[in-house]
Amino acid sequence: MVEERPPDAEQNNESVVQEAEEEYQPNSEETTPQTEYSTAESNENIGISSLMNKRAKLEEAVDYVGGLISQLKEKRTSLEKEIEDESVDIKNLKEKLIKVSEYITEETQGIQQLSDKRLSVEKEADDVGHLIVSLKEKLTGIDRIVEDEGNKIKNFRESRDKTSNI
């Protein structure tokens, strides 16, 4: 990717090129130490140290991003484990609720059976009550008949005793 440079940077590059050309022209007055200084100065003017600093910063940024990625992976792994644990808990809870639902259904059926049985027993009790009332009425009728017959016999004896006394 080509980076646009400000006009000052272009002028700096031109001066760096001129300095580099002057360094390579044979000149008896210049010595080796000055060449080393000029090379260091030209490196700075070219931007090598700036590039090295940028590279170092980029490496730091890459390391930082790598750390963030590592933390995200750890968090994701932790979340996956938590989600799996929750999933297991929910499945267990669902199984328990299904069992509770089955129990409630069984109890409802049992209560309905007991209710039906109670209704049957109540009907039988009503039938027995009607039978008792009917038998009581019959016994009352028989008791009247016996009493009437007893009265007839008593009247007959009394009338016979009266006729025999005459």
pLDDT digits (tens, 9 = 90+) for 86-99: 999 999 999 999 99
pLDDT at res. 116: 97
Place of tokens 């484990």: 81
Q: Are 45 and 16 in contact (CB under 8 A)?
A: yes
The model's pLDDT over 107-126, given as tens digits with 9 standing for 90+, comes to 999 999 999 999 999 999 99
pLDDT surpasses 80 at 7? no
Q: What is the pLDDT of residue 39?
A: 55
Q: Which residues contact 23 (CB under 8 A, 6 or more apart)?
A: 30, 35, 38, 39, 42
**Percent of the chain clearing pLDDT 70 (strictly above):** 71
DSSP letters for 27-76: -TT--HHHHHHHHHHHHHHHTHHHHHHHHHHHHHHHHHHHHHHHHHHHHH
Predicted TM-score of the model (pTM): 0.44
* Of the candidates 50, 17, 20, 14, the residue with the CA atom closest to the CA atom of residue 35: 20
